[in-house]
A and B are shown apart, each in its own frame.
Chain A
């Protein structure tokens, strides 16, 4: 087996090749994310304000890091951005679509086609192979099955995991599992990658490799929003915002 560093370098070269293809497919648009006075309140007696009047725009192909202490509303905001949760107030537009006006099923469709998620704990299905985990992302798009395996292998190739396509996730290291999770998140034609503490379970070496991979995906036009406590990850982003008590403040990159 090749050394990890060599694999990463090889993977990086492949990402560059894939980046060009993705770049050609995506026409440039100004804002992928537009939040206007978005708030999220839980409960009523008394109400807990998790997100309070957040305004935010994110350009296509750029990366945004959201930092802040625990309980400051970072993950809640990420859930809203990922159409997993609805804002209690304000407006959220994803690629020009007013998400608040969509039905539950329409938001699920939007997630299937436009949004990829990367979680701290990878969230891979342990009893399915790596390739099946990646293909799972396309099962809910309603598109033809033809070419699905090819696209999954292409996504795995982008993250340097094509040789592990038939392995089971529990047999892989943490870094490898996170790469598979990223492959699952980018397979198809997603425009937004949302990461919740993506390096939380990785060592420094794997963290650096992951950040390099994110850079390559950014070059391909993929917009990335990352919630993190890791200063290294935050510093790597194009922009950095801080959440404190549900309110957002911009920080210097």
Chain B
């Protein structure tokens, strides 16, 4: 049955060209993968949804934490970042220490970066009650126990106090040890005093003090709201105050670190260690801490979403491989090598991840903008986040598609063809 024929050769001269390494055109590869995806649009859309959620959550998390961090820092700067309090350390006697000098206010105000400064002390009135002399409502007031504070004149500005009536005492009141006081809003309410234009006075024990001012609000040293505040000179003479209890400083923005270092030296040059300084943490550190806390929580959620998305892509790609065994067989019969099949499925899964990344990054950015708009914040987002998120999605798709692609490539063409289309 077999006619005489030449001995077999591995290759004939003119057919070597058939067997050289073939490289599929990238456009062909992308076109085939794209067509494979478009053939199942609903399933691809649902698969991509997992990556959309994951990438969207990551982008929104990073953006919102950055935005919120900036917002927190902004508010922090406005009030707290200028607040420095100096008081005796434990070595300096603690709360009852006598380290702070009487001219502390003047010393502090000489420091560059100090906006306002004052000293504040608790005054021991030995249980004396404070009672008002009724003017408008004789039946309202009686004797009450009020905390008595002594302050230097500059304290009111340092604690950002606002007057609702009258005036603050000044250096003259202190140096003359005048029996004048300013009432906090809570203290004035307890005493039934709401005006000072009729030379209102109160008794502290059996001593009569003129009320020269009423505080409306304070933003620092909130205990002042319920206290009666007398000049330091008065407290020294009337109640034997030994030394200021603390120094309150308001600094310029960004000067906290400087004042934190200089204030103890200014107040206690011989031994600054006798004083302790309470100052807010560096805003940058606070911002990083806030971002870090938010990131840790939400990145975990985003990571979980992304993992679910990756599993979804892997699962759907694997199902797609199993469903398309016949197609794989056809492609192998048409000359596709294993690497061509592998590459097609990898491009498909990478394409799904990339699409999910693009949509997710867009939605995440929109969420940041929307939340910022609602809260009148300034949206802040690192440029690499919306640019890198699609690449992360593509990477997720690539990794997810590796196993299904290898499995598709491992199919023998005969077995794949037998499975049919």
Contact = CB atoms under 8 A, between A and B. Distances in A.
B5 A30 contact: yes
Contacts of A110: 18-19, 335
A145 interface: yes
Given A110-B19, A127-B39, A140-B24, A97 B420 contact: no
A61 interface: no
Interface residues of A, number: 49
B408 to A, nearest CB: 14
Contacts of A36: 2, 8
A34 interface: yes
A150 to B, nearest CB: 16
Nearest to B418: A75
B10 to A, nearest CB: 5
B296 interface: no
A5 to B, nearest CB: 29
A203 B332 CA distance: 29
Contact of B334 (A56, A102, A111, A248): A111
A109 B35 contact: no
A110 B11 CA distance: 11
Contacts of A95: 12, 15
A123 B11 contact: no
Interface in A80-127: 82, 84-85, 91, 93, 95-98, 101-102, 104-106, 108-114, 117, 119, 121, 123-125, 127
Interface in B291-345: 326-327, 329-340
A111 B330 CA distance: 11
A109 B22 contact: yes
A190 B117 CA distance: 96
B28 A112 contact: no
Given A96-B11, A108-B337, A114-B18, A55 B2 contact: yes
Contacts of A101: 10
A212 interface: no
Contacts of A128: 35
B23 interface: yes
B20 interface: yes
B27 interface: yes
A98 B35 contact: no
B332 A84 contact: yes
B46 interface: no
A121 B326 CA distance: 11
B270 interface: no
Contacts of B140: none
Interface residues of B, number: 45
Contact of B22 (A98, A132, A142): A142
A163 interface: no
Instruction: Name the prevailing secondary structure of the A interface residues.
Output: mixed
B36 to A, nearest CB: 9
B257 interface: no
Contacts of B5: 30-31, 34, 57
A140 B19 contact: no
Nearest to A188: B335
B15 A142 contact: no
A125 B35 CA distance: 10
Contacts of A93: 8-9
B77 interface: no
A102 B11 CA distance: 9
A119 B420 CA distance: 10
Of A84, A110, A114, which is in contact with the most chain B CB atoms at under 10 Å from its CB?
A84
B19 A106 contact: yes
Of B19, B35, B414, which is in contact with the most chain A CB atoms at under 10 Å from its CB?
B19
Interface string A215-244: 000000000000000000000000000000
A84 B24 contact: no
A137 interface: yes
A35 B336 CA distance: 24
B38 interface: yes
B414 A98 contact: no
Given A97-B10, A114-B18, 11 more contacts: A30-B6, A82-B333, A91-B8, A97-B9, A105-B337, A105-B339, A108-B336, A109-B22, A127-B38, A136-B32, A142-B22
Interface of B: 1-3, 5-6, 8-12, 15, 18-25, 27-28, 32, 35, 38-39, 326-327, 329-340, 412-414, 417, 420-421
11 contacts: A36-B8, A97-B11, A109-B19, A109-B20, A109-B22, A112-B336, A114-B18, A123-B326, A123-B333, A140-B335, A141-B22
